[in-house]
Amino acid sequence: MINLRTQGEMDTIAHAGSIIGRCHAELSARIVPGVSTQEIDTFVEEFIVGHEGAIPAFKGLYGFPGSACISLNEEVVHGIPSEDRILNEGDIVSVDIGVRLDGWYSDSARTFAVGSISSEARALLDVTSLALDAAMEVSVPGNHVGDIGAAVIRTCEGTNYGIIRELVGHGVGRELHEEPQVPNYGRDGHGPLLREGMVLAIEPMLSAGTPRIKTLEDGWTVITADRSLSAHFEHTVGITKDGPRILTLAEGPIAAGNPASETS
């Protein structure tokens, strides 16, 4: 079943989302060579729980051990934080964060450059970010889920990037993963109708090589099959009569319990 949310319910999701947006903004200065993915995860958890009532949505979900999914270079999603995974100059790293607040979920991911990165890596990040922008732009009442995937495809035309098809976006609300699934490929006018009140996590994932993926022996970390670089950008988006409403922005509603550490 696809749930429709009221404006008030979207406001609550946006409160949770603003924590993620501001956490990502804080991470921009903290993701540097020499930092471990565990250090990033620790910061994310402390940032989230510093807001009254907020909890990291991913920690313990389906048995996941971290507060954030931190995926490095060829890792597409679900990278497990580790003291042994150290960021190096030229790496790219995706930090996927979920927050639960007052019984509602929000979900967003961003891929960061570690120091100075290659022009090839920068182009991959830029196109993946543009694909998210294009996908959100068509997320309006009367369009279809297929329009979202079609927008990703159009953004990638003329590139050699692979669109990861085995992983999809999803509805968000009382549960982190709800209907409908939101693939990063599709045809205009196909799939479930987009209706006012729907809330979707839209998350293009591109690779610099093959779109094929595999899961490592840890049972979580998904990598590109040819170990090419991968980028991932995601926002939680509300479908409204006034157009797409991004619910995971740093400048969104300020959640209660705003910690002083946020301005440090």
For residue 105, the one-letter residue type is: Y
Domain-embedded: residue 262? no
Domain-embedded: residue 263? no
Q: Is 219 exposed, middle or buried (0-12, 13-18, 19+ CB in 10 A)?
A: exposed
The tokens describing 153, both together, are: 């495809």
Q: Which residues partner with 56 through β-bridges?
A: 99
The tens place of each residue's pLDDT in the chain, 264 residues long, gives: 999 999 999 999 999 999 999 999 999 999 999 999 999 999 999 999 999 999 999 999 999 999 999 999 999 999 999 999 999 999 999 999 999 999 999 999 999 999 999 999 999 999 999 999 999 999 999 999 999 999 999 999 999 999 999 999 999 999 999 999 999 999 999 999 999 999 999 999 999 999 999 999 999 999 999 999 999 999 999 999 999 999 999 975 544 333 333 322
Domain-embedded: residue 260? no
What pLDDT does residue 251 have?
75
What pLDDT does residue 252 have?
57
**Residue from 165, 247, 151, 242 nearest 201 by CA:** 247
Q: 3-state class of 97 per DSSP?
A: strand
Domain-embedded: residue 160? yes
Distances (CA, A) of 53 to 15, 100, 126: 11, 8, 35
Domain-embedded: residue 259? no
Domain-embedded: residue 93? yes
Domain-embedded: residue 38? yes
Number of domains in the chain: 1
CATH code for position 104: 3.90.230.10
Range of the domain at 153: 7-252
